[in-house]
Chains A and B, each alone.
Chain A
Amino acid sequence: MAGLHYHARQTSHTGSYSLVVMELNGLPDAAVFRDALNQISARLPMVHGWTKRDFRNLAPYWHIPKSPGRANIPLTIVDASDDATADRLLSDHVNATNRPDREHLNFLFVRIADGTSRIGVVFDHRMLDAIGAETFLRLIDLTVSGQLEEYASKVKQEEPPHLDVWEKQFAGGKTVFRRMKMIGQRDVCAMAMPPAGRFGRVHFAHEHLTTAETTHFLETASEECGGMPIVLPSAAARAVYAMRAAVPNPPLPGTQHTLFTTASMRTNDQQWEQLFFNHFSFLLLTVGTEVPQSLPDLATATRDSFFDQMKEQIPQSLADAAALSRVSPRWLNQRFNYSMFKGRVCSLYFACLRDGGYKTDTFLGVPIANLYHKPLAFGPPGLNLCMTTFGGRFNLVLSYLEGVMNDTTAATLMRTFKAALLRQDVERHDAKNAK
């Protein structure tokens, strides 16, 4: 993840930071909130740690200070007149530049005039992943109810150096290299990146499905995968559908759309043990431009790509290969990845998470209206489409780098994506295309 941070710093002006937003139907007590953060800060000083590299064995590691000292987890309280202002404040919060390298969490508590509030947490992907960030919010809630020790004692603050099982890691690297080479034989359709050094803010477009709509989509996805409870390929197919509809003539044309898709490597019963660090790997789903623009065809193509890569165990191989690449210089890894895909890498980063880390419906005693992520977007391609679940419904968020896509195109993409998930208008469009 230090490699990701390095890359994100080079290709966006923020770094590997994402935002998780909690919308609350009320105002939690700010003093109680502050106190809970201080308790966690003292109990888990690793939240103030930093990455170091051991020059004897080249292994990067997370340095944990013996005590937090005077360091606190930042919490800023601001007032907003309405939801739009709150959204803008949260967007500014995650787009802050020159964030200190040892700051991995930063909270913004927005009190809205109508009595509701929003909590935005900027988190560093070197220390937490999306599920970990939600779990950290849950830890705050448990701290207030006096259960910090019970849960903090389960949290693992160390990761092995991964400087063993070299054969497995090389085998993983070989599998991934073969797959990347295969994908790299065809040009990837992508958006053009702004000139180097001119990276702007990350913008966000947000939609959500209702509980009934989410259930409807899950049933459709299952049907498309032969009745099996598999969602990812169907969701990815709709992302490709929306991308093609919103950007019919991509600035960097190619013969395939490639989705860099997150794959959770967590084990179900270890939510607390795996609170820190990143437990995601990736799949590289591909859909050729020759596949017709119809949902059944795209769903079949993404499903086949998904099954092929699962048979090859790409997520595990990539995790192994990543452990291997930790000892090589970051600039070298970056150059290697660029050269494989001729500088394009993928058309879109995509995530579809059906499971979250926050499974109760209150925070500090206040009911939660919604919880969603505004993820990082670095280049290439400067686009990240993320589906997360809270309260049995999907939130859909597109993050896009300024200069990569304009607001109108982003809105079209999101509208089409949502319609495709619900199959609204899409069947009519497919029928029109067939004529």
Chain B
Amino acid sequence: MTVDDIQQILINEIQTLLALKPGSVTAETALPTLGIDSLKFVSLVLAIEKQCNVHLMKKGLKPADMATALAMATAIHARQAE
């Protein structure tokens, strides 16, 4: 799975979770501005874990990893390789 694949999964999941129109989230959208609360964020992590076969809750993420969908996809890709 490439970074682009993960990024696309992330964008789709975020749009679904926040009931946003397709195309409203891009690779460069600042994720903290979207108002993702604790519950939605965990739902996002669970969806990513399922689709990307990675244990994010155990391995964790850094705050900088959640700046954009691209940054998050890159971090998830790195965790997959660990």
Q: Which residues does A use to contact B, with CB under 8 Å?
A: 222, 226-233, 263-264, 267-270, 306-307, 310-311, 315, 352, 354-355
Least distance between B19 CB and chain A CB atoms (Å): 4
Instruction: Known contacts A226-B61, A228-B60, A228-B61; decide if A310 and B66 are in contact (CB<8 Å).
Output: no
Contact between B18 and A269, CB atoms less than 8 A apart: yes
Q: Which residues of A contact B57 (CB under 8 A)?
A: 226, 307
Q: Which residues of B contact A263 (CB under 8 A)?
A: 39
A435 to B46 alpha-carbon distance, docked (Å): 39
Task: Closest A residue to B58 by CB, please name it.
Answer: A226
Contact between A310 and B42, CB atoms less than 8 A apart: yes
Residue B45 at the chain A interface, CB threshold 8 Å:
yes
A-B contact count (CB 8 A): 61
Contact between B38 and A232, CB atoms less than 8 A apart: yes
Least distance between B36 CB and chain A CB atoms (Å): 7
Task: Closest A residue to B45 by CB, please name it.
Answer: A228
Instruction: Known contacts A226-B60, A226-B61, A355-B35; decide if A268 and B19 are in contact (CB<8 Å).
Output: yes
Contact between B35 and A227, CB atoms less than 8 A apart: no
Instruction: Known contacts A226-B57, A229-B66; decide if A267 and B39 are in contact (CB<8 Å).
Output: no
Q: Is the interface on chain B under 10, 10 to 19, 20 to 34, or 35 or more residues? A: 20 to 34
Contact between B43 and A264, CB atoms less than 8 A apart: no
Least distance between B29 CB and chain A CB atoms (Å): 13
15 contacts between A and B (CB under 8 A): A222-B63, A226-B57, A226-B59, A227-B62, A228-B41, A228-B56, A229-B36, A229-B63, A230-B42, A232-B38, A268-B18, A269-B18, A310-B39, A310-B46, A352-B38
A425 to B47 alpha-carbon distance, docked (Å): 39
Least distance between B16 CB and chain A CB atoms (Å): 10
Chief secondary structure at chain B's binding surface:
helix
Residue in A227, A228, A352 whose Cβ sees the most chain B Cβ within 10 Å = A228
Contact between B34 and A268, CB atoms less than 8 A apart: yes
Least distance between B56 CB and chain A CB atoms (Å): 8
Least distance between B45 CB and chain A CB atoms (Å): 7
Residue B22 at the chain A interface, CB threshold 8 Å:
no
Q: Which residues of A contact B66 (CB under 8 A)?
A: 227-229
Residue in A229, A263, A267 whose Cβ sees the most chain B Cβ within 10 Å = A229
Residue in A230, A270, A307 whose Cβ sees the most chain B Cβ within 10 Å = A230
Task: Closest B residue to A269 by CB, please name it.
Answer: B19
A231 to B46 alpha-carbon distance, docked (Å): 17
Residue B30 at the chain A interface, CB threshold 8 Å:
no
Contact between B38 and A270, CB atoms less than 8 A apart: no
Contact between A229 and B32, CB atoms less than 8 A apart: yes
Least distance between A267 CB and chain B CB atoms (Å): 4
Contact between A227 and B42, CB atoms less than 8 A apart: no
A131 to B36 alpha-carbon distance, docked (Å): 16
Least distance between A182 CB and chain B CB atoms (Å): 20
Task: Closest B residue to A219 by CB, please name it.
Answer: B63
Q: Which residues of A contact B28 (CB under 8 A)?
A: none
Q: Which residues of B contact A226 (CB under 8 A)?
A: 56-61
A307 to B38 alpha-carbon distance, docked (Å): 11
Least distance between A130 CB and chain B CB atoms (Å): 14
Residue B82 at the chain A interface, CB threshold 8 Å:
no
A252 to B8 alpha-carbon distance, docked (Å): 51
